[in-house]
């Protein structure tokens, strides 16, 4: 899926919502716990409830890996279900991989060849040879960690270099020389709107995956002021605020309501930007 196809979906759904499937088995409602695969049953219900409002789904692999081989099967079934029923929706494996050489190639093959996701989150700390193996797959994307939404991001990401620029700007400037805007996205947290504007100035054409709206308190309007570009250029992720909107039998209905609420807010921002 290329950038134009993502933008087309954004215009059709009037949304740039990415729903994070951070599914924790211990937090599932009782209504799905008796199923053979409760994690998949929960995900399937959430996907069906929110697909009309979302242009992307982002399962965080850690929550599946904790369940061992059973969890990995749930993840594979989740991805396969999205691809079969909603092939227009962009799938990001939030795996935060980052190693070198053959190891990175193996990680990339696991997600791109075997699981068939569209994108993988990658950590750039080890440099270009930890990222470039992921860039060698046709029609697949790297979502590179640049400025994350957690409080500890300040420990390294804002550290000034010899020119007084924060490290995250060096990461973005360097990585953007490795791949264009149809292969590479950057993670830019919603909790840093001023820095988000700085990132947009450095990479005006690239998509930004923006976590932190919802449970982490990021402001959607501020994100849009800082980050929208002529092809939207944003995928705003919400996870817990949607998938755990209710822990009762109405969990899917409430998830749909939360996703719809965000979609309506996004529609307004797209209209104000003249993109609809």
Strands (E), 50-89: 54-59
Neighbours of 62 (CB within 10 A): 13
Residues 43, 224: Cα–Cα separation, whole Å: 28
Q: Active site includes 83?
A: no
Identified catalytic residue from 77, 96, 261, 267: 96
- Bridge partners, 95 (sequence order): none
Structure tokens at 244: 């755990």
Question: Which helix H or strand E contains 174, and what residues bound it?
Answer: helix 167-175
Is the distance from CB of 209 to CB of 184 less than 8 angstroms?
no
Is the distance from CB of 75 to CB of 38 less than 8 angstroms?
no
CA atoms within 13 A on the CB side of 198: 16
Which residues are identified as catalytic?
A: 96
């Amino acid at each position: 899926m290329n950038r134009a196809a993502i933008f087309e979906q954004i215009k059709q759904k009037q949304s740039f919502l990415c729903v994070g499937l951070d599914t924790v088995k211990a937090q599932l409602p009782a209504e799905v716990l008796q199923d053979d695969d409760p994690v998949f049953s929960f995900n399937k219900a959430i996907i069906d409830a929110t697909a009309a409002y979302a242009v992307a789904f982002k399962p965080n692999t850690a929550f599946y890996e904790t369940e061992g081989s059973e969890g990995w099967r749930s993840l594979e079934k989740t991805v396969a279900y999205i691809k079969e029923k909603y092939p227009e929706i962009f799938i990001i494996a939030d795996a935060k991989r980052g190693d070198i050489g053959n190891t990175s190639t193996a990680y990339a093959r696991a997600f791109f060849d075997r699981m068939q996701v569209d994108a993988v989150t990658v950590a750039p700390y080890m440099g270009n040879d930890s990222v470039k193996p992921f860039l060698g797959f046709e029609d697949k994307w790297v979502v590179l960690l640049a400025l994350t939404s957690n409080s500890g991001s300040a420990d390294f990401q804002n550290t000034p270099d010899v020119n007084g620029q924060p490290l995250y700007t060096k990461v973005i400037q360097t990585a953007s020389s490795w791949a264009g805007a149809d292969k590479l996205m950057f993670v830019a947290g919603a909790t840093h709107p001023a820095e988000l504007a700085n990132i947009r100035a450095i990479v005006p054409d690239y998509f930004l995956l923006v976590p932190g709206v919802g449970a982490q308190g990021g402001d959607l309007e501020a994100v849009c002021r800082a980050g929208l570009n002529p092809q939207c250029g944003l995928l705003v992720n919400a996870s817990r605020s949607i998938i755990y909107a209710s822990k009762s039998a109405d969990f899917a209905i409430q998830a749909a309501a939360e996703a719809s609420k965000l979609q309506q807010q996004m529609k307004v921002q797209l209209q104000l930007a003249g993109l609809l």
